[in-house]
């Protein structure tokens, strides 16, 4: 059984390192130019080099998104930028517009992936891009497992499929709601998520919705129950959405799918409820399987609610651990106090719990609470923890 | 520059031709999105004969987003269309181009993916693929349209008049909304009298659900009466999309554009444009969308 790549998003270098430490085989990042999610793109070329060096030292990969649909005046510096990406050894770019695809072909030897923004929904269009020189196509999120299987049977092109995270309710790349309602260009990184707003539905002058707003907002994608089938179909890369998400979200989602993929390909018993419970700790919106089982129904939509849910509380990130004193140095991320029950979430072992004793600052002053974001603190942890382990409050 | 229209039925073809239409865009709902009218294959044959007899051109709209299950039917449809000797075939999915390549008909094909032809290179790129034309995306400014036209390698078209769509979901969003409330929904599917109003915007966006999913349109009808003379210097085909409009309205619109193009008189253009102020705007012709301010 072929093990697919697990591909994770990273909005900055810290998230990139977390994603790779917690089990991703590859990460995708946005540079400051030519990338959607402009606000999530914190990587200048030196950061991209550091990202590639770090990933490659672990035998892992970095893909850079250059997936805007550019207008005429967005093309300055494209050749130079693509050549810079090649010079720092990015493993592929993810692109959509022919101008970026062809410029990369002409001026670099970069590997080319086709973005989901091109709404590739059938094997004919996938084969087109392969013929043109792409090595991989990121498929549209509107495909069910039967369509994926048929598609795989009709192409040699590597296929990438979204398995988790936010979903466009429209065909990606074909939506200009944001352009029209807010003047922000969705295909150039400005999507205002107008599909998640509240609407009223009318038939001529008669309002049809009485008790609730008309909503078209989509639940997020979660496919724990479908990974086994996707591996069986032979999907080459399983992709997690969310370059804007927190390190706790990235770590939780990546490590869950990592263990799940490993269990399936190692032919171990797979405890799906355990994985579903684990991944819920990072959910901030209700989830569903999207199109995996066929046409969507009401179970894939969000109705009558503001969609944000509180996530399990992430209270600290481990920076260091002294094995002689059992003292962990941590960076505070959320409020906690002595006597709180915490759980250590680590890429190295299953979650372990302990009770907080004293909380001290770096000057050894005893504190009655961990109040300040990013404050460096010292606490006693009765077992070995490592840098990048996370502390969650058990609620 | 030729004027293209979307006829309402076979009997509307002649009056539209008389009003000044040069190209007729027709389709069947199995293979096309957002049609004014779905022509059964027999009617497509009849329409082709009539349009050709009038000395006009016919383009077949085949702009579905194609899934694997559609491939066989699309292939058969294109083969049948070929026998009619139509003048153009519009596609929005590159998979349809691939079928056209296999059938040897790419020189008749026109790429209109609605949102993806946004810069000068798109026409150059598709020119190398030996297709007939591309349609420039609807959110492109007049200034950019001219820049794109300066380097064109294919026929260039724009949608210059009509309700423009801004959203296409595969999901049955109207049906699901009613199912969630455990209410009957049949009368709201394929119903073109619906619109959405966002809670803080006093604008009405036409919406409907059909066999391809759910479509949402801009509130105002785009018009280009002030720009048509400029556009005629750069663009090959100016499309007037009649969706949600009456035949009489479209006949007037075609007559008015035709008059401006014939007279080449800007004063006349101003007089005519003043008739189309209410419920109309100029889309993105003079409005840049924001790119890098967030």
**Amino acid A144: pLDDT:** 98
Chain B residues with CB under 8 Å of A197 CB are 198-199
Give the residue on B whose Cα is nearest the Cα of A143: B67
Give the one of A129, A180, A209 whose C-beta lies nearest to B166's C-beta. A180
Per DSSP (E only), the strands in chain A are 5-9, 26-30, 61-66, 92-95, 112-114, 136-138, 158-165, 199-203, 206-207, 220-222, 237-240, 287-288, 314-322, 327-332, 341-345, 352-355, 359-361, 366-367, 376-380, 390-393
Closest CA to B234 of B160, B164, B127: B160
Q: Chunked in runs of 10, what are the mean pLDDT values of chain B (294 residues)?
A: 98 98 98 98 97 98 98 98 96 98 98 97 98 97 98 98 97 96 95 95 95 97 96 98 98 97 85 92 92 54
Question: From the CA of B269, how many Å to the nearest CA of chain A?
Answer: 26
Q: What is the pLDDT of residue A305?
A: 66
pLDDT of residue B293: 43
Strands B213-217 and B165-169: antiparallel
Whether A244 has its CB under 8 Å from any CB of chain B: the answer is: no
For chain A, 395 residues long, the average pLDDT of each consecutive 10-residue run is 95 95 97 78 91 98 96 94 98 98 98 97 98 98 98 98 96 92 89 92 95 93 98 98 91 96 95 93 89 94 68 87 96 95 92 94 96 96 95 87
* pLDDT recorded at residue B207: 98
Instruction: Enter the ipTM.
Output: 0.96
pTM score over 0.80: yes
- Please check whether residue B126 is in contact with residue B154, taking contact to mean a CB–CB distance below 8 angstroms: yes
pLDDT tens, residue by residue, B59-81: 999 999 999 999 999 999 999 99
Q: Do residue B95 and residue A124 have CB atoms under 8 angstroms apart?
A: yes
**The pLDDT value given to residue A38:** 63
Residues from chain B that touch A70, judged by Cβ atoms under 8 A, are: 118-119
The nearest CA of chain B is from the CA of A174 a distance in Å of 6
- Render pLDDT for B161-179 as a digit per residue (tens, 0 to 9): 999 999 999 999 999 999 9
Tell me, yes or no, if A183 comes closer than 8 A to chain B by beta carbon.
yes
* CA distances (Å), origin B237, targets A83, A113, B145: 38, 33, 13
- The per-residue pLDDT for A324 is 95
The answer for A 146-165 residues in CB contact with B (under 8 A) is 147, 150-151, 154
Phi, psi of A36 (to 5 degrees): -70, 175
Interchain contact A174–B (C-beta under 8 A): yes
Residue B294 has what pLDDT?
A: 40
């Amino acid at each position: 059984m072929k093990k697919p790549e697990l591909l994770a998003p990273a909005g900055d270098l810290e998230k990139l390192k977390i994603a790779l430490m917690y089990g991703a085989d590859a990460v995708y990042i946005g540079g400051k130019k030519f990338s959607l999610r402009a606000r999530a793109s914190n990587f200048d070329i030196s950061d991209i080099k550091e990202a590639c060096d770090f990933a490659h030292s672990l035998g892992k990969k970095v893909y850079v998104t250059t997936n805007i649909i550019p207008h005429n005046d967005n093309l300055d510096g494209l050749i130079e930028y693509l050549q810079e990406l090649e010079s720092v050894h990015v493993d592929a770019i993810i692109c959509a517009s022919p101008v970026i695809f062809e410029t990369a072909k002409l001026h670099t030897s970069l590997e080319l992936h086709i973005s989901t923004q091109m709404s590739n929904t059938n094997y004919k269009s996938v084969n087109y891009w392969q013929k043109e020189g792409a090595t991989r196509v990121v498929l549209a999120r509107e495909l069910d497992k039967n369509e994926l299987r048929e598609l795989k049977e009709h192409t040699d092109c590597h296929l990438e499929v979204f398995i988790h995270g936010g979903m466009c309710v429209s065909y990606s790349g074909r939506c200009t709601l944001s352009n029209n309602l807010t003047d922000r260009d969705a295909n150039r990184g400005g999507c205002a998520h107008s599909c998640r707003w509240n609407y009223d539905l009318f038939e001529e002058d008669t309002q049809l919705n009485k008790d609730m707003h008309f909503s078209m907002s989509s639940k997020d994608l979660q496919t724990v129950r479908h990974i086994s089938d996707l591996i069986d179909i032979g999907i080459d890369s399983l992709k997690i959405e969310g370059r804007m998400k927190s390190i706790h979200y990235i770590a939780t989602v990546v490590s869950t799918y990592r263990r799940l993929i490993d269990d399936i390909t190692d032919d171990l018993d797979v405890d799906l409820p355990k994985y579903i419970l684990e991944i819920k700790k990072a959910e901030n919106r209700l989830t569903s399987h999207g199109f995996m089982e066929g046409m969507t129904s009401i179970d894939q939509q969000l109705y009558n609610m503001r969609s944000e849910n509180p996530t399990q509380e992430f209270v600290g990130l481990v920076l260091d651990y002294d094995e002689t004193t059992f003292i962990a140095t941590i960076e505070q991320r959320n409020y906690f106090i002595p006597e709180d029950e915490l759980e250590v979430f680590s890429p190295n072992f299953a979650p372990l719990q302990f009770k907080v004793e004293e909380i001290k600052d770096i000057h050894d002053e005893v504190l009655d609470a961990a109040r300040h974001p990013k404050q460096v603190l010292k606490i006693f942890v009765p077992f070995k923890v490592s840098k990048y382990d996370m502390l969650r409050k058990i609620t | 520059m030729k004027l293209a229209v979307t006829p309402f039925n076979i009997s509307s073809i002649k009056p539209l031709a008389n009003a000044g239409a040069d190209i007729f865009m027709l389709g069947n709902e199995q293979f096309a999105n957002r049609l004014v009218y779905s022509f059964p294959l027999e009617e497509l044959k009849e329409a082709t004969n009539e349009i050709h007899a009038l000395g006009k051109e016919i383009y077949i709209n085949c702009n579905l987003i194609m899934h694997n299950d559609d491939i066989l039917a699309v292939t058969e449809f294109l083969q049948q269309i070929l026998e009619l000797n139509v003048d153009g075939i519009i596609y929005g999915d590159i998979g349809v181009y691939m079928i056209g390549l296999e059938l040897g008909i790419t020189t008749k094909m026109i790429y209109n993916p609605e949102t993806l032809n946004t810069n000068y290179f798109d026409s150059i790129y598709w020119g190398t693929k030996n297709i007939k034309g591309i349609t420039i995306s609807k959110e492109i400014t007049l200034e950019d349209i001219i820049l794109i036209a300066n380097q064109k390698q294919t026929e260039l078209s724009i949608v210059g008049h009509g309700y423009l769509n801004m959203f296409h979901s595969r999901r049955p969003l109207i049906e699901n909304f009613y199912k969630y409330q455990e209410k009957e929904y049949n009368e709201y599917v394929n119903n073109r009298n619906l619109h959405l109003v966002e809670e803080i915007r006093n604008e009405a966006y036409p919406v409907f659900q059909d066999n391809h999913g759910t479509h949402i349109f801009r509130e105002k009808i785009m018009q280009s009466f002030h720009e048509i003379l400029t556009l005629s210097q750069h663009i090959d085909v100016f499309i007037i999309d009649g969706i949600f409009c009456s035949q009489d309205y479209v006949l007037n619109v075609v007559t008015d554009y035709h008059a401006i193009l014939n007279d080449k008189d800007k004063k006349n253009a101003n007089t005519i444009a003043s008739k189309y102020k209410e419920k109309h705007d100029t889309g993105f012709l003079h409005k840049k969308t924001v790119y890098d301010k967030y």
